[in-house]
């Protein structure tokens, strides 16, 4: 199969608090996006690589050109899902499948890309890497991470059925395009509630398969995550 990789790097980085797009934040001596792109290139899975950057951002475009001049860049949208749609619109005609990867996961090991790609090659329409959940998870009122007020627990899902989902998420291209097409009818609240591509595909009744993710594939969201990633870069591999 011919695979395109879409790296979404158009997030604002508000929760990281550095006053710059998250993909520009430094990890060691390079921006997060450089680490993420090196991971994608080292995995040798991409026939075509597209990076979604914040609208008008010249720095991240320059980063892409420096890493590999053949990388295509497109402007992001107001939600993650809009950003992915913008990239889906520019893929070449001969592509069969797409891996959507977060620039916010700079240390994803090559094996994870391979596991996702191999499952697609074996015929899966949708594949996501995930890990078992270690915390007990409760449900409560909708909130953002920063605004947890005293509140009442709603339910406690059984922990052994929960999975923490990572990227790259892999899809048959026609399947992902159809799911994004259906989502274009969503109102703003519905659109904002879409936190990954697999959700869109699930809502179309497509089976989504899980392969093993990696503890190394952490997502950089808040400052503590950057500290952990710095330690992972310097120290012996976990
Ligand atoms: O916001 P969150 O951390 O869930 O974002 C996950 C990934 O989606 C990040 O790599 C971010 O750059 C990307 N994103 C995007 N466009 C948006 C929002 C997020 O490309 N509008």
**pLDDT of amino acid 190:** 86
Question: What pTM, to 2 d.p., does this model score?
Answer: 0.95
pLDDT per position as a tens digit, 32-66:
999 999 999 999 999 999 999 999 999 999 999 99
Burial 210-224 (b: 16+ CB within 10 A, else e): ebebbebbbbbbeee
**pLDDT of amino acid 141:** 84
ipTM of the complex: 0.96
- Return the C-alpha torsion angle 9, 65, 129, 224, nearest 10: -50
**pLDDT of amino acid 184:** 87
- β-bridge partners, 97: 3, 172
d(CA 198, CA 153): 27
Residue 146 has pLDDT above 70, yes or no: no
Residue 5 has pLDDT above 60, yes or no: yes
Residues written for the chain: 238
Residue 238 has pLDDT above 70, yes or no: no
Residue 13 has pLDDT above 90, yes or no: no
What is the whole-number distance in angstroms between the Cα of residue 11 and the centre of ligand 1?
4
Q: Which atom of ligand 1 is nearest to the CA of 7?
A: 10
d(CA 7, CA 116): 15
CB 77 within 8 A of CB 33: no
Residue 15 has pLDDT above 90, yes or no: no
**pLDDT of amino acid 133:** 97
Does the beta carbon of 105 sit less than 6 angstroms from any atom of ligand 1? no
Atom 11 of ligand 1 has which residue's CA nearest to it?
11
């Amino acid at each position: 199969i011919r695979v395109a990789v879409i790296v979404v790097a158009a997030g604002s980085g508000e929760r990281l608090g550095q006053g710059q797009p998250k993909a520009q934040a430094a990890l060691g001596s390079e921006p997060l996006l450089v680490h993420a792109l090196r991971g994608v290139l080292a995995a040798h899975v991409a026939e075509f690589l597209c990076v979604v950057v914040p609208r008008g951002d010249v720095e991240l475009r320059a980063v892409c050109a420096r890493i590999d001049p053949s990388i295509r860049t497109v402007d992001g949208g107001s939600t993650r899902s809009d950003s992915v749609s913008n990239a889906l619109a520019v893929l070449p005609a001969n592509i069969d499948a797409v891996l959507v990867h977060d620039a916010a996961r700079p240390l994803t090991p090559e094996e994870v890309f391979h596991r996702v790609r191999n499952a697609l090659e074996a015929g899966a329409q949708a594949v996501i890497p995930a890990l078992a959940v270690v915390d007990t998870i409760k449900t409560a009122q909708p909130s953002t991470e920063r605004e947890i007020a005293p509140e009442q627990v709603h339910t406690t899902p059984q922990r052994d059925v929960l999975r923490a989902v990572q990227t790259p998420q892999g899809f048959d291209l026609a399947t992902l395009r159809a799911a994004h097409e259906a989502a274009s009818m969503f109102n703003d609240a519905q659109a904002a509630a879409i936190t990954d591509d697999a959700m869109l595909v699930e809502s179309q009744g497509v089976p989504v398969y899980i392969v093993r993710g990696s503890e190394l594939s952490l997502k950089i969201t808040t400052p503590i995550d950057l500290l952990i990633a710095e330690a992972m870069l310097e120290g012996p591999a976990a």
